[in-house]
Amino acid sequence: MNTVINRRTLVRTAGATGAGLLVATRTPVASLFGPGDASAAATCASLTPAKTIGPYFVEEKLNRSDLRTDPATGAVTAGVPLALDLTLVDEDASCAPFAGAQVDLWHADPSGKYSDESVEGTSGKKYLRGYQVSDANGRVAFTTVYPGWYSGRAVHIHVRIRTFDASGAATYDFLTQMFFDDALSDTVDAKAPYNTRGARDTRNADDDIYGSDGASLLLNIKADGNGGYAGTFTFGLSASSDGASTSAASSDASVGATLASATCTSSATGARSVTVKLQTTERLALDLRVRRGSRTIAHRSVSALGAGARTIRVPLSTSVRQGRATVQIVARDTAGNRKVLSRIVQVPARP
């Protein structure tokens, strides 16, 4: 695969009406070939859905299989052990193994915090992050802990799959997330150190990123017999496109918008607002929402935003409580391409 993806064929358009019914089907490769087997076959699984990168990716360049350790201190993240065996297959080549791809994983710790994020108070720490390169069988393996939850999101792990040319430029860049069965997360949340935080506020069905196709991103997980779990997943990947455009299919790279910062502050009069700073290279339409779980707590739309450094403020009502919230921005260019940007902010207490 040597083409940067601009659109991914994730769902097919069907239906007798002009509206077009979006239908997504996915047959897990493991069920076709056997667990962990990425042999080529005449019948191929359908494509793995793409998901937003989210606010917490950091290019740490940590080539390692065990993600639990903070390399700066040697401290090991406590939590329920989770071993991951992941397989990549090339749907453009009859599901042959997709070898030589860099697979980055990152996720929250049992307290719900990500490492190396100033808003989390974890700057300089690098636990629960790292990458492996897929072997000749298209496989990578990681040792980590079961992820913790944070307000507004179901339990998940972020995944970024890339290939690079000789100069180091990305030639393939696929983003998605893996999810967990809610009943299993309930079981884990009842154990230490997860059980000090109360019930999580967002389950899979209430998570906008999980969406209508999130069930196809659920990890296949079994108990390992030693108090932990072993999870497997197969990613069906493709660099081809049939031109279908869906909410998930448009490429982030085709939309000229970068989220520089997002903060939430109080004015001298006590009014609170979220301030977003964007850098754009083209004319865009924006839909900006501040969210907690599936609920929008503030919203602003901009129909035509010119290129350049732009600042947008979204006021918060007095009914919004303090705590963490997610800023989600959907940017669309004049060609209809779509990019989702997000950032976590801390809402201060009401005056």
- Residues 209, 51: contact at Cβ < 8 Å? yes
Round to whole Å and give the CA distance between 344 and 328: 9
Same domain for 163 and 232, yes or no, is yes
Show Cβ contacts of residue 65 under 8 Å, excluding neighbours closer than 6 positions: 130, 132, 140, 141, 142, 143
Task: Kindly list the distances between the CA atom of residue 320 and the CA atoms of 38, 164, 212, 273, in Å, as whole numbers in the listed order.
Answer: 49, 44, 28, 11
Residue 74 makes CB contacts below 8 A (sequence gap 6+) with none
**Max Cα distance, the chain (Å):** 67
Other beta carbons within 10 angstroms of residue 285's beta carbon come to 15
Q: Is 303 helix (H, G, I), strand (E, B) or coil?
A: strand
On whether both 230 and 303 belong to a single domain, the answer is: no
Task: Compute φ and ψ for 325, nearest 5 degrees.
Answer: -140, 160
d(CA 211, CA 52) in angstroms, rounded, equals 12
What's the count of helices (H) and strands (E) in the chain, helices before strands?
A: 2, 18
Stretches where the chain sits below pLDDT 70 are 1-46, 239-253, 293-294
Q: Is residue 1 part of a domain?
A: no
207 and 271 within one domain: no
Give 281's Cβ-side CA count (13 Å radius): 6
Final residue before a domain boundary, out of 176, 210, 237: 237
Residue linked to tokens 């298209």: 138
Q: What is the pLDDT of residue 132?
A: 98
Q: How far apart are CA 343 and CA 60, in angstroms?
A: 18
Residues of the domain holding 307: 255-347
Within this chain, do residues 319 and 172 fall inside the same structural domain, yes or no?
Answer: no
* 243 within a domain of the structure (yes/no): no
Alpha helix segments (H runs only) across the chain: 29-33, 182-189
User: Is 179 found in the same domain as 60?
Assistant: yes
CATH at residue 292: 2.60.40.10
Q: Which residues pair with 259 in a beta bridge?
A: 278
Give, in degrees to the nearest 5, the angle at Cα 143 between 210 and 324.
40
For residues 275 and 183, membership in a common domain is answered with: no
Put simply, whether the predicted model's pTM sits higher than 0.75 gets the answer: no
The predicted structure's pLDDT at residue 146: 98
Whole-angstrom distance, CA of residue 149 vs CA of residue 153: 7
Q: In this structure, are 224 and 105 located in the same domain?
A: yes
Same domain, 294 and 233: no
Distance of CA 267 to the CA centre of its chain: 33
One domain, residues 211 and 265: no
Whether residue 5 is contained in a domain is answered as no
Question: Which pLDDT value is given to residue 187?
Answer: 97
pLDDT of residue 170: 85
- One domain for residues 181 and 266: no
Task: Kindly state whether residues 216 and 319 are assigned to the same domain.
Answer: no
Count: domains in the chain: 2
- Whether 213 and 127 map to the same domain: the answer is yes
Residues contacting residue 183 through CB under 8 Å, at least 6 positions apart: none
What's the rounded Cα separation, in Å, for the pair 227 and 145? 11
Q: Which of 211, 237, 263 lies at the terminal end of a domain, its last residue?
A: 237
Is residue 69 within 8 A of residue 75, CB to CB? The reply is: yes
**DSSP per-residue letters across 130-159:** EEEE--TTSEEEEEEEPPP--TT--SEEEE
Q: Given this model, what pLDDT does residue 89 score? A: 92
Asked if 265 and 313 touch (Cβ cutoff 8 Å), the reply is no
Sign of the four-CA dihedral 153, 117, 341, 130:
negative
Which CATH number is 83's domain given?
Answer: 2.60.130.10
Give yes or no for a contact between 80 and 228, defined as CB atoms under 8 angstroms apart.
yes
Q: State the amino acid at position 324 in one-letter form.
A: R
- Residue 248 resides in a domain: no
pLDDT at residue 344, as a whole number: 80
